[in-house]
Amino acid sequence: MTDKKDERLSYEQARAELASVVERLEAGGTTLEESLALWERGEKLAEICQHWLDGARARLDAARQEPAS
């Protein structure tokens, strides 16, 4: 479940933060607890990105099904 602040993130904001989380995890040097928190944040951000992508796909599909004027 995402909180209200996360719901306001644009796709680009969520993707950028997700990339930052991945970089931090790949760099290492964090404790197990920090790594788990980063991983959980990454999962939430990936969910937000997927929500945006699903919405975009639905809009494209709907536009393709509309009769041409």
Q: Residue 49: which domain range? A: 8-65
Residue 17 resides in a domain: yes
pLDDT tens for each residue of 24-55 = 999 999 999 999 999 999 999 999 999 999 99
User: The tokens of 49 are what?
Assistant: 């990105």
d(Cα 62, Cα 46) in Å, to the nearest integer? 24
Residue 3 resides in a domain: no
Residue 1 resides in a domain: no
Does 1 have pLDDT greater than 60?
Answer: no
In angstroms and rounded to an integer, the radius of gyration of the C-alpha atoms of the chain is: 16
Give the count of domains, the chain.
Answer: 1
CATH of the domain at 17: 1.10.287
What percentage of the chain exceeds 70 in pLDDT? 93
Residue 34 resides in a domain: yes
